[in-house]
A and B are shown apart, each in its own frame.
Chain A
Amino acid sequence: MRYMLPLAVLLVVASIQLARVHLVGQTRWRGGGFGMYTELHPNHTEVWVYRGDKPRQLDRPRVPFSPQPPPPTCQNPSERARELRALPTDAALDAFWADCLPDPTITSVELWKRRFDIERWAMVRTRVRSSERAASSSAGGSQREEDAP
């Protein structure tokens, strides 16, 4: 019966992934649940950074740190952003902000999911997570002002 073991593992992994999709909002595309092509790819989840009411969207595939290097707490920013999009929990958003966005003038970071709504025959965005923080008064001007739109 050894030949049944891979199937058993597949079913266990897929069950865990399905539970996480429904309980914590993990994307169906990742986690070994064979749910690809059932919803928009997590690359379509937008990460928005606000300084007051000034918005800026982080690039889809990567977090741009140019001209500054990424902070030591965020050695692989592209991977961190990919993981955040695949598993957009409150804790993951807070951790991403703390580790990868050290700019003290940032007041809010939000995740918006993009989808096509066939009922409304429209592309829609829905905010799935947001995290807010008072801007630091000692910031003395943004470090990333050159990136703002």
Chain B
Amino acid sequence: MSTPQAWQLRALCVVLLVFAASTARHPLEWRITMALGALLALTPWLIERRAVWWFLAASVGAAILFSPLSAANHHHLLLYMTAAIALTWSKDREHWAIDVGRASRGLMVGVMGVATLQKLLSPDFMDGSFLTFLLLDGGLGEVFWEHIPAFQGAISDAHKFFLWFADPIDPRRATARAVSARLMPVGTFAVVLAWLVVLGEGVIAALFALGAKFDRAELAAHVALLLFGAGLLFVRAEHVFLTTLLWLGAAVCLGRETPKLITRAYLVLGSVAACVALARVIL
């Protein structure tokens, strides 16, 4: 029970616990069932049973089915991950590890590829409008803004402006409000950042696809994903998805020779993301 596969399964149980703790809008009964299922799956008697993974997949699937328009993207990703484990289950542990690694690679390429496509198809993202809002609203890099006095004032002013715009003013009478012109450099930065994000996600998808054949591409893919994940730590309310994505990145290593430094980096960054996600629930 100390194989890399077993540790990977335990890590997914922890991700599911973070998920159950962070999903306040689902019924309490569902959250307790999900959390108990993940906790029991951690035990040596159940973690090696295929039915447990079907049960966990069904629990996540139920949350999506009950409320499809409320389910976040990490709901879907967790469903695919738990279903992949159950689908590829085999008594031959080496064979199973290779299959889970392949399924995880496919999912990673799919997630990053589709996310890139969505951004390319979104006019608000590509022209920098959305990221300008996110930057001015303090949703990106909040930790930095708060500690740099020059930025703090500007972000605080913009944030107040957005709150004021959101106040109940009849929209028929107030359809637009100009933002202070002195903040325009943020818009230029947002356009550059938008392209960087699109390129970054596209490159990660391509590297993981190439990593199936080439070891160097595989290594570069993991490094790029870890850097991307470190960046996502600074985006407001993105930590449950990040925990899920990092588990997926680590699962790609199953059945392959991967430097221990990479798996340790996934463990450290994933733990930080999980702790931040739980802290947001508790604090």
Contacts and interface: CB of A to CB of B under 8 A. Distances in A.
Interface string B58-74: 00000010011111110
Given A114-B165, A115-B129, A125-B171, A3 B184 contact: no
Contacts of A65: none
A110 B130 CA distance: 23
Contacts of A40: 124, 130, 133
A4 B106 contact: yes
A9 interface: yes
Contact of A48 (B128, B171, B238): B171
B118 A38 contact: yes
A120 B130 contact: no
Interface string B30-43: 00000000000000
Interface string A108-149: 001010111111111111110000000000000000000001
Contacts of A44: 166
A14 interface: yes
Nearest to B100: A3
Q: Pick the most buried of A31, A38, A125: most chain B CB atoms within 10 A of its CB.
A: A38
Contacts of A51: none
Contacts of B118: 18, 28, 33-35, 38
Given A34-B73, A112-B171, A121 B127 contact: no
A interface residue count range (under 10 / 10 to 19 / 20 to 34 / 35 or more):
35 or more
B76 interface: yes
A9 B187 contact: no
A23 interface: no
Interface in B141-179: 161-162, 165-166, 168, 170-172, 174-179
Q: Pick the most buried of B102, B124, B171: most chain A CB atoms within 10 A of its CB.
A: B171
A34 B125 CA distance: 14
A44 to B, nearest CB: 8
Given A118-B132, A118-B190, A39 B168 contact: no
Nearest to A35: B118
Dominant secondary structure of chain A at its interface with chain B: mixed
Interface string A1-40: 0111111011101100010000000001111111111111
B132 A116 contact: yes
A40 B124 CA distance: 9
Given A3-B84, A6-B80, A126-B175, A37 B134 contact: yes
Contacts of B124: 38-40, 115-116
Interface string A47-75: 01000000111001000000000000000
A5 B68 CA distance: 21
B110 A28 contact: no
Contacts of B133: 40, 115-116
Contact of B73 (A32, A116, A122, A123): A32
25 contacts: A3-B84, A3-B88, A3-B102, A3-B103, A6-B81, A7-B103, A10-B111, A30-B72, A34-B73, A34-B114, A37-B130, A38-B124, A39-B122, A48-B171, A55-B172, A86-B70, A87-B69, A116-B130, A118-B128, A122-B176, A122-B177, A122-B178, A123-B176, A127-B171, A149-B168
A-B complex: 8 closest residue pairs judged by Cβ atoms: A7-B106, A35-B118, A3-B103, A116-B133, A32-B76, A38-B122, A6-B80, A86-B69
Interface of A: 2-7, 9-11, 13-14, 18, 28-40, 44, 46, 48, 55-57, 60, 78-79, 82-83, 86-87, 110, 112, 114-127, 149
